[in-house]
Structure 1
Amino acid sequence: MKTSLRELLKQLRLSGLASSLEVRLTEAISSRLTHAEFLELIIQDELAVRKERLISRRTTGACFRDQKTLEDFDWSFNSSIRKKQIFDLAAGQFVRQHRDVLLLGPPGVGKSHLAQGVGLALIKSGHTVLYRSIFDTVKDLLHDEAFEGHDRVMQRYLKPDLLILDDMGMKHLPKRSGEFLFEIIMRRHELRSTMMTSNRPLEDWGKLIGDVPSATAILDRFLQDAELIEITGRSYRLRGKAGIKDESESKTGQTRSPEKAAT
């Protein structure tokens, strides 16, 4: 490739096209491609590179704890998890409909892996995602409010197509947590989708947050049109550990309606 052409492509920021152009020129000659066919191929190359970069940026920006995929999940370990149901979430219909999802179950059954796997799949299909533990979420908002950055940080939580709030129930939350969580849920409600995971029953949320009225308001708004998925069974992380009993011997997972869950 001529140096002048390479510089022109660089100025136009067509690095994907530049990297494949020599190969495509050879292909065009050997396959006797028309000008239109050749142009289509090099444009496809540029678009493919741009898509890969966008996915990479969005994956980094999502702040996943681990880049877990649904393909990596051991579906045979826990038969209570309905694979089709999770892959339906990964297809993104609930995000396009601005609905919410709550994954409930004891520690170790794969809730965080599944949530991150769904999030990564949605990024690959063109959506924006932010993943945060519930404790880090509250810490972010408490810290930045003290430095008059509340609105800026709140926008970070309001902007993505899907917000994943993980690990509800792992720790008791600081004071005023309920206010911040309610603001996030309220302002995202019916505009953006939120997915939460919890290892504690819904009736315990008031104690965890330290604010029963806020917990009630959060659940009332969040569960209005949410898909509630309960996962039971053995802990994947504790598999093979002698002398450790499973938290649940149930072999059946189920999805309950929000109305039933709130009672």
Structure 2
Amino acid sequence: MKHSIYQQLHLPYLEAALPQLLQEASTQQWTYETLLQRALATEVEGREQKAIARRLKAARLPSTKTLEGFDFSFQPSLSERRLRELADLSFVRTCTNIVFLGPPGTGKTHLSLALANRALTAGHSVLFTTLSELSHALSTASHPGLVRSRLRRYITPSVLVIDEVGYTTLSQEQARYFFELVTARYEHGSIILTSNTSFAGWGTLLGDEVLATALLDRLLHHAEVIAVNGRSYRMKERQTDRASVSAPSEAALSATSVVPTGVR
């Protein structure tokens, strides 16, 4: 079957949009130059949107978060200006790591996902994982070749998000794989990491103080460490939900204030 000129030139988005473009060109009396520019812009935009969708699928982000959706007023210890500066993505270009440290529920994952989403939109490759998932994937590989293949999966992206560091103590083998990954990405790609465990506790986490020191040396050499020590968003939401359930409605208050006729 003979392919159309659009298929031969690989212009699927222009082919789909051309009837509408021609109608607008006729109605608004575009010049040939304007029509050509709009046609090419349509194809470029279509390709960019497809590329973003492909990167988003590969990134495996559990949800879409933004800095605009983060309540900085609830975490006054955080510098909004600093996060906005990180959002310009210079950390990706310089292969700088970002480490969010703090107790559970304070917004560390939200911030890491917001920066990851910004990187995706700008055209960078991203992969999200938890330390538990990462460790399990590497330690269950059945042969060395599969280990190398899975390691490449985590080494390749421009930005690797490792969430929930500190929730699981690693085996000796898992700790070694974690060290190999951080070493492989050192000065070659950015890591965004969230942890509820201070660096002093990483020896226990990895089961090896010497290995933990060597890993942290590489992780923190080029890194922005951001402490998130405020209140828990989840506790805030739970308290709000409880308040809404326990608080009587306006209608109920009005009803209880009415005194029946003849009763004093």
Using the size of structure 1 for normalisation, the TM-score is 0.85
Q: Deviations over 1:196-247 (max 9, x none)?
A: 11011110011111122111110011111211111111000111545xxxxx
User: 1:145 & 1:219 partners in 2: Cα distance?
Assistant: 28
Q: Of 160, 163, 168, which aligns to 2:160?
A: 163
Alignment partners' CA distance in 2, 1:147 and 1:26: 60
1:237 partnered with 2:234? yes
Partner of 2:151: 154
Does the alignment pair 1:225 with 2:222?
A: yes
Correspondence 1:154-193 to 2 at 5 A: 154-193=151-190
Larger radius of gyration: 2
Are the aligned partners of 1:90 and 1:119 in contact in 2 as well (CA < 8 Å)?
Answer: no
Distance 1:236 1:214 in 2: 34
After superposition, what is the alpha-carbon deviation per residue over 1:122-147, rounded to whole angstroms, capped at 9, x for unaligned? 10011111111011111111112547
- Whether 1:25 and 2:31 are equivalent positions in the alignment is no
What secondary structure sits across from 2:68 in the alignment? helix
Equivalent residues of 1:87, 1:118 under 8 A apart: no
Q: Which amino acid aligns with 2:219?
A: F
Structure 1 contact 80–232 (Cα < 8 Å) conserved: yes
Q: 1:36 to 1:233 in 2, by over 3 A?
A: same
Return closer, same or farther for 1:147/1:221 CA change in 2, 3 Å cut-off: closer
Aligned residue identity for 1:45: T
Q: Distance in 2 between matches of 1:66 and 1:174?
A: 29
Residues 161, 193 of structure 1: 8 Å contact kept: yes
* 1:1-263 correspondence to structure 2 within 5 Å: 7-146=4-143, 148-241=145-238
Provide the aligned length of Structure 1 versus Structure 2.
238
How far is 1:13 from its partner? 3.5
CA positional deviation for 1:156: 0.7
The equivalent of 2:244 in structure 1 is none
Corresponding residue for 1:259?
A: none
Q: Out of 80-89 and 143-152, give the one that drifted further.
A: 143-152
Q: For the residues of structure 1 that align with 2:134 and 2:228, how far apart are their CA atoms?
A: 24
- The amino acid across from 2:11 in the alignment is L
Give, in whole Å, the separation in 2 of the partners of 1:175 and 1:141.
12
Report the alpha carbon displacement of residue 9 of structure 1 after superposing the two structures with TM. Answer: 2.2
Give the Cα separation in 2 of the matches to 1:178 and 1:168. Answer: 12
Q: CA deviation at 1:94?
A: 0.8
Long gaps (5+) in structure 2: 240-264
- 1:12 CA drift (Å): 3.7
- Look up the equivalent residue of 2:229 and give its one-letter code: T
CA pair 114-145 structure 1, distance change in 2 beyond 3 A = farther
Distance 1:39 1:111, change over 3 A: same
State the distance in 1 between where 2:131 and 2:153 align: 14
The CA distance in 1 between the partners of 2:23 and 2:170, in whole Å, is 62
CA RMSD of aligned residues (A): 1.8
TM-score by length of 2: 0.85
Q: 1:119 to 1:240 in 2, by over 3 A?
A: closer
